Amino acid sequence: MLPAALITIALGFFGVLAAKGLRDLAAFAVVGSMGTLLAAVAVFQPDAMSAALYYTVHSTLAAAALFLVVDLIAVRRGEYGDAINVGPRFQDVEKLSALFFLAAIAMVGLPPLSGFIGKLLILDGVRDAAGGYWIWAVILITTVIGILGFARAAAGSSGRAPPSRGTATPAASTAAARPSPWRRASSPCWPWRPSSPDR
pLDDT in tens, 17-71: 999 999 999 999 999 999 999 999 999 989 999 999 999 999 999 999 999 999 9
**Global pTM exceeds 0.95:** no
- Please say if the pLDDT value at position 73 is more than 60: yes
pLDDT in tens, 119-167: 999 999 998 888 888 999 999 999 999 999 999 998 877 656 554 444 3
C-alpha–C-alpha distance, residues 51 and 55, integer Å? 6
88 sits in which H/E element: strand 87-88
pLDDT at res. 86? 77
Q: Predicted confidence band at 193 (pLDDT cuts at 50, 70, 90)?
A: very low
Q: Where are the beta strands (DSSP E) in the chain?
A: 87-88, 159-160
pLDDT at res. 159? 57
The helix, strand and coil proportions of the chain, stated in percent and rounded to the nearest 5, come to 70, 5, 25
pLDDT at res. 80? 82
